[in-house]
Structure 1
Amino acid sequence: MLSFEQVSTIISQAIPFFSGIILLILLINLFILLLNLATFVRLRSQDVADDNDQVPLVSVLIPARNEEANIEACIRSLLQQQYGNLEIIVLDDQSSDQTAAIVKHLITKLPDQQSPILRLIQGKPLPEDWIGKNFACQQLAKQAGGKYILFTDADTIHQPGMVRAMIQHMQKLQVQLLSAQPEQIQRSLGEQLIVPLLNFTILTLLPIPLIRLRREPSLATGNGQLLCFERSAYQAIGGHSTVKGKILEDVLLARTMKAAGYRMAYADAFELTQCRMYHSFAEVWSGFSKNLFAFYNYSLPFALVALVLNLLLFVVPPFLLLACAVHGSSAGTILPVLTITLLPLIMRMLLALRFTRSNKGWVVILGLLHPISIILECVILLNSIRWHYRKSGAVWKGRYYPA
């Protein structure tokens, strides 16, 4: 039987090796993040309005289900766009609240020259094999007349130059799909701990420049809050019917576009669009539980490997550092452990500084709680897996989503 001294020696020898492997992975993550922060194109607002004879028609499409708290602000922001050739179509997706009434009221209050811009259509009953939002978007696209179709969510608010910047960027890059990342508004502690992990995951794992430069479908991502297609390309891939039963339709549509040979780009719309996806930890729990296992394509081995890696990379190092301090390890042992503990915190803080408009100090402080965020994400992933295998599903905006 090994003595305490022998066990301590083995642990002391294993820690540098373990730390070295984690350090290598984290340095790769840091390199990808720094590359993305340096090259992530920030779309900017323009003050000059477009002549409607000089620009293509853009159809802005908004699926709306039980959005009475958000829909008016969203539509008003779109009506103020500095773009001269625009139509806005809202689909009331079987809402049980005042969503449709609010849109109708806005239409009646519009000046004569603006009234043709805004339309409301009633959504059809949801077929069994469709996800609600996907069916709503497919119906909207059939009503659109624009050369470009821009899907956005009802809980978004847009600056006047948003549409103009999106179309100009698409034309400049000659892409058929542009998706962009809005500013994510987070007010409750639950939101502030969990929602930034979306940015953290994408920007530390996926080199954003390769989305445009490479044609592999795996090098694609999308954000349904801002998803702009050339309509001809959208129709050529079958639109939302190709992902009709999929929860992560935005990412899968982006991959489908690339697989069909079309080009896409991903941009930073921090200055153009704001969105608050969730309003409490309970909503974060439900929303992430609905989506997280789907992110891993419902592959249990893939999801569990990702869970273990997240724990090893972001949760174990602080505890390992504490153990080294208590054990009185040498500086040569503590230094690599300290490095792998600090690197994720530095990455989280860099993201907080880039993608936060106010209260930067508080958000940076929250970055120190990154291990807690990861633990919560892992628990949510386990819950998402549980929902899937127990077929319990999720209820979101009054509609049941089977797992």
Structure 2
Amino acid sequence: MPDLATIAAFLDLHHGEWAARVADFADTRLRPRPRARDDDDGRREAVELVRLMGDAGLYRPLADMDYRAAALARETIAVASPLADALYAIQGLCLTPLLIAGTESQRERYRAGLLSGDLVGGFAMTEPEAGSDVAAMRTTARREGDDYLLNGRKHLISNAGIADLYMVFAATDPAAGSRGITCFAVPADTPGLHFAGAQVLSAPHPLGELAFQDCRVPGSAVVGESGAGFKIGMATLDRLRLTVAAAACGMAERALDEALAHATTRRQFGQALADFQVIQTKIGAMAMELAAARLLVYQAAHTRDGGAERVTLEAARAKAFATEAAQRIVDEAVQILGGRGVLADSPVDYLYRAVRALRIYEGTTEIQYLIIARQVIGAHGGTA
């Protein structure tokens, strides 16, 4: 469970009870599960994990927009299962556009299933030529009567091939750039939508490509207004980006725990590894960075829960610092474990592969630095 004492100033009473509940679920339901061996195994496991977390009510903070509780959930889940954490994130990315911009009919149709895990969610924004530059997307949605015809290709889409519902972003007015993008709620069984193949990660995770070939969706599939997709997508990422940072803290916590367990029991040259000052300096730096990351995460979540419409700066700081710190902490854990740290069945080897993606998805570290710089420069009367 997260070190609640460090972040107590940012939490309410119910958050401690919630953290204990999630920790019990993680310890009893996630930790004992065998790790997925390959992509096929990972996809089967992913569907099961989405439903397990839904059955346990873990997605409730996403619906309540309690981002401190969501951060606590992701941090705690990530300690036990980076795969489960990634799935939690995608469920949130699919649900949030419906909550902030969906119609009552859309929410009635999809909300309960996403919260229960009966519906596996997907978030289809990234394309081969449109990653950080979202406005460059080439997938189009052409109006035809009361319907839209979607054509194009999405890649690096989490849950591609296993999702029941995708939030799909497409250009309804390509000439308008970011102001011509629209968000659609598209069930996976819609004719013209095809799973175009898996993209296999070193740490099993259901990732792949989607192809749209005259995929016809009704006008009622539009989430929000036509042309508002970019705004909806960015608002979704702005709300959930801080939970990526929380997940990074969870992975860093697990790495630090593994390093401590090894350093205090492994003996070299007649003494425990933890008795060597070089190991102590590593552990001290790891613990300090983890504490600092948590403070940034829960300060951002506290600000959002306090009513702030946007936490662009706070979320960017949290994500950039926490994910970079987690990468360093995991790397140091591998170094402390030595050869054992690079064995295929080592938790820190798995963490080493899993944590790397957090520095990329939902906005790379470099993009976060740009966001921070623009906010800081703007606050001082400059332009960037």
The question of a shared fold, defined as TM-score above 0.5 by the shorter chain, is answered with: no
Specify the structure having the higher radius of gyration (Cα).
1
Scaled by the length of structure 2, what TM-score is found? 0.27
Q: Whose RCO is larger (CA < 8 A, sep 6+)? A: 1
Q: TM (normalized to structure 1)?
A: 0.26
Task: Flag the structure with higher helix content.
Answer: 2
